Amino acid sequence: MAKDTSSQGPITIPKWDVALEALAKEEQQKLARPLSLDDFRRLAQQYTIRLDDIMVTMFELCIHGEWQYQNSDGKPHKITRKLLEELTAGGRLKDEDLQTFAGGWTSLR
């Protein structure tokens, strides 16, 4: 059996939706400010994407240090795996699950 010589080692697969990450990053660059929950709602409606899918992606990006969430006072608020699991324990994220996230989301890369 031939050995695969084109392999460069293990492939790292992100734990988030890279297309939604690109959409959020582009929107943040366009607006030149942190993104709000209202921005994500607008993007979800504009592109016919579930708000839940966008926000789970944002939580994953924060967990992995790619983005940061700041509360409404502008103070960084650590997003943890435990928090995401608690929010999604009943299935998909609901609008009421997100009400406490009235701050801003910023790309760190």
Segments making up each domain of the chain, as ranges: 29-107
Q: What's the whole-number mean pLDDT along residues 70-80?
A: 95
The set of residues, in sequence order, having a beta carbon less than 8 Å from that of 4 and lying 6+ positions away, is none
Residue 46 has pLDDT above 50, yes or no: yes
Burial 52-81 (b: 16+ CB within 10 A, else e): bebbbbbbbbbbeebbbbeeeeeeeeebee
Provide the 8-state DSSP code for 11.
P
DSSP bridge partners of 76: 70
Residue 4 has pLDDT above 60, yes or no: no
Angstrom distance (rounded) from CA 102 to CA 23: 20
Amino acid identity for residue 47 in this structure? Y
Look at 10 and 29; give whichever has higher pLDDT: 29
Look at 24 and 15; give whichever has higher pLDDT: 24
pTM: 0.86
Q: What's the pLDDT score for residue 15?
A: 83
Residue 3 has pLDDT above 60, yes or no: no
Residue whose entry in the numeric block shows the structure tokens 């050995």: 3
Residue 50 has pLDDT above 80, yes or no: yes
Q: What's the whole-number mean pLDDT along residues 45-59?
A: 96
Residue 6 has pLDDT above 70, yes or no: no
Cα–Cα distances in Å, from 64 out to 11, 68, 78? 17, 10, 11
